[in-house]
Amino acid sequence: MQNYDEILNAAVAAKNHEEYEKAAELFSQALELKPNEAKVWFYRANIYNHSLKEYQKALNDYHKAIELKDDDEFYYYNRALCYLNLGEVDLALEDYNRALKINKDYALALWDRALILAQDEEYEQALSDLMRVLELSPYSAAIIYKDLGGIYYQMEDYPKALEAYNKSLELDPYSIYAYKGRGNLYFSLGEYEKSLADYNKVSELAPADKEAINKRIMIYQKLGQDDLAQAEKNKLNLP
């Protein structure tokens, strides 16, 4: 009969080889031997949450892990992700706050919290969180500036939104989402040619992107270029 350490090592190996069902079963066997090991509940929760998409099972395991060890920011962060998968945004926000109470410089938790706060129109805190993420994770600056652009756009602060999108695209000229964001901004401002240029770039980078095709239809219609709008519709089999 295998001992606890052998089973745990086999479970980790199975996870690393993307044998997720096997890994979950082995973690379960380990828990039968040592049911008070918080890390094993956490490992199995992550398998259920991130790989097997069995979110309720994952949530139950995160609860147990946190019951056994309530001072680990990673446990709260991953449970927040599980809550998001279940559509429980308010509970996710609570867990991001708990994670940040333990580690105020946990960049991923700050980032995710910022996006939730922006949805709730708590813009000042959302911007503060993202600016802190920019300090902590400068290597992610292109994506952070894209998200800043999105928040400024929601706030209807179009000059700052444009500045942020431009900065994002300076850092990553292949960012589809930054082109979409800036294209939407230009469309809102009635600058249809500039909007079209950005959505042309999206279609160049991702020819099958349906959002880009639909947006190009709208832009061509605004420009009075109905033949080009129809050509885009044909790509989607629209009348």
State pLDDT tens for residues 157-215.
999 999 999 999 999 999 999 999 999 999 999 999 999 999 999 999 999 899 999 99
Among 193, 216, 192, smallest CA distance to 204 is for: 216
34-85 pLDDT, tens digit per residue, is: 999 999 999 999 999 999 999 999 999 999 999 999 999 999 999 999 999 9
Residue 220 within a domain: yes
Q: Which domain holds residue 220?
A: 174-239
Domain count, the chain: 1
Whether 159 maps to a domain, the answer reads no
113, 129 in Cβ contact below 8 A?
yes
Residue 211 lies in a domain: yes
Is 229 within a domain? yes
Look at residue 88 and tell me if it is in a domain.
no
CB 22 within 8 A of CB 52: no
Separation between Cα atoms, residue 55 and residue 229, nearest integer Å: 42
**Is there a domain that residue 104 lies in?**
no
pTM given for the model: 0.91
What CATH number has the domain bearing residue 195? 1.25.40.10
Give Cα separations from 201 to 207, 212, 225, 229 (angstroms): 9, 9, 19, 17
Q: What is the DSSP letter of 189?
A: T
